A and B are shown apart, each in its own frame.
Chain A
Amino acid sequence: MSNKSKIFLKGVADVSPLMIPVVPFGIIFGVLAIDLGLSPITTMAMSIIIFGGASQIIFLQLFSAGASSLVILSSVGAVNSRHLLYGAVLSEHMSDFKMTWKIIISYFLVDQAFAVTNSYLKKSSDKDRAFHSFGAGATCWIIWQITTIIGIFLGSIIPEKLGLSFAVPLTFLALIVDDFRKLINVIVIIISGIIATFGYEIIPFKAYVIVAATSGLIAAMILTKFNRFNNG
């Protein structure tokens, strides 16, 4: 086996355990999209073109609520802004990667692939180490497409009274559940949540996601500053 395939397969193996939570997430996306009246082809196209769970779900939520394109796009941008934090870490390890690799990896780099790639690149200086990110990303991609297809099929079978749309808040809850251990995070969560809930009908253009998230972040800025002042 060539060195490249070995590294590729290591990427596949490293990311595989992280695929377990992705399976229900992908299925839920497919089911919901069909429930909301999207065609199977549009649903599939979203998973291929956007290829980002949180982006796709927020797109569905806002689209079904009748939000304008501008609001949908800026909300997707806001959801993706969580990637900025990783940026500083990862770009250093990839500084000598070819442009083509950077483009390919950018398409594939969902959170799970990021996590394993980051710890691999910290240790490895192999000239073919880009294949690790590629292997991890391609694995995520295949799992995401397959689970979307399963969801599309199930979407036409699962009865509506099961209320599967409730899986959406649960999935996002699972992503931030650890933050409930930290007081400032809990305050930020509550502020953002309350503004979104009460602003849902009041804030124009369904911009409640943006308004709530911005308020939450401003609260975080103030609280962390205050916290530092107290500790310092």
Chain B
Amino acid sequence: MVEWSLIIYCGLITFFSRYLMIAILKKEMFTNRVREVLSFVPSAIFPAIIFPAIFLDVTGDLLIENNPKIFAAIIAIIIGLVSKNVVATIFSGLISYWFLIFVIFN
């Protein structure tokens, strides 16, 4: 059971981070250095979601050998870099994953 208060707090955090950005933050509050480091936030946070979901199995153990998700993720990265298309990245990864689990690893 998800607590409603938790959902509401998450909503408030999301709302206020956007409010902060359009109503409170000003250009002169950021030095170029701060801006430079902030530009790395996506690269720092999203892998924390991506990597465990690829490299860990359902029990939380490391799974390197015979792990179709690793191959599928590599294909998705390549397609993403070539196509620069978000939808193509997601679907190339999913389709190669399905191909691997239903055809190759089956």
Please tell me the number of chain B residues within 8 Å of chain A, measured between CB atoms: 68
Dominant secondary structure of chain B at its interface with chain A: helix
Instruction: Assign chain A's interface to a size class.
Output: 35 or more
Q: A169-B49, A220-B40 are in contact. Are A51 and B20 (CB under 8 A)?
A: no
In whole angstroms, how far apart are the Cα atoms of A167 and B86 in the complex?
12
Chain B residue numbers with a CB within 8 Å of A103 are 19
Question: B48's contact among A49, A80, A89, A212, by CB below 8 Å, is which?
Answer: A212
B27 x A180 contact (CB < 8 A): no
In whole angstroms, how far apart are the Cα atoms of A79 and B20 in the complex?
15
B94 x A50 contact (CB < 8 A): no
> Which residues of A, 51-89, contact B by the 8 Å Cβ criterion?
51-52, 55, 57-59, 61, 63, 69, 72-73, 76-89
In whole angstroms, how far apart are the Cα atoms of A77 and B89 in the complex?
26
Q: A-side interface residues toward B, CB under 8 Å?
A: 20-21, 24, 38, 42, 45-46, 49-52, 55, 57-59, 61, 63, 69, 72-73, 76-92, 94, 102-103, 105-107, 109, 162-181, 184-185, 188-190, 192-198, 200-201, 208-209, 212-217, 219-221, 224
14 contacts between A and B (CB under 8 A): A55-B13, A84-B41, A106-B18, A166-B72, A170-B76, A170-B90, A171-B90, A173-B50, A188-B40, A189-B43, A196-B47, A209-B48, A215-B44, A224-B37
